[in-house]
Amino acid sequence: MAGLKNQIAGKAHEIRGRITGDKTELIAGKVQQKMGKLQSKLTDVKAKAIAQAEAIIDKAP
């Protein structure tokens, strides 16, 4: 959920930067969006790793 929040907030910063012509705000927004995407991917990878670990544990005698 934090990833999605950062993506949305980053997009808002990017749009504000485009409207005002503030390149710093624009770049900060893009960076925040990337961070949000990475957080989302990390959450997915973590969930898959946990599922695989649980599958291995279930197969153990």
Using DSSP's 3-state secondary structure scheme, residue 13 falls into: helix
Per-residue pLDDT tens over the stretch 8-23:
999 999 999 999 999 9
pLDDT at position 37 is 96
Rounded-to-integer distance, Cα 47 and Cα 26, Å: 32
pLDDT at position 1 is 81
Measure the N-to-C terminal CA separation of the chain; round to a whole number of Å. Answer: 36
Please enumerate, as own/partner, the contacts of 7-13 that have beta carbons within 8 Å and a separation of 24 or more: 7/32, 7/33, 7/36, 7/37, 7/40, 8/36, 9/36, 10/34, 10/35, 10/36
Prediction pTM value: 0.77
Determine the average pLDDT of the residues in 22-41: 96
Domain that holds residue 13: 2-59
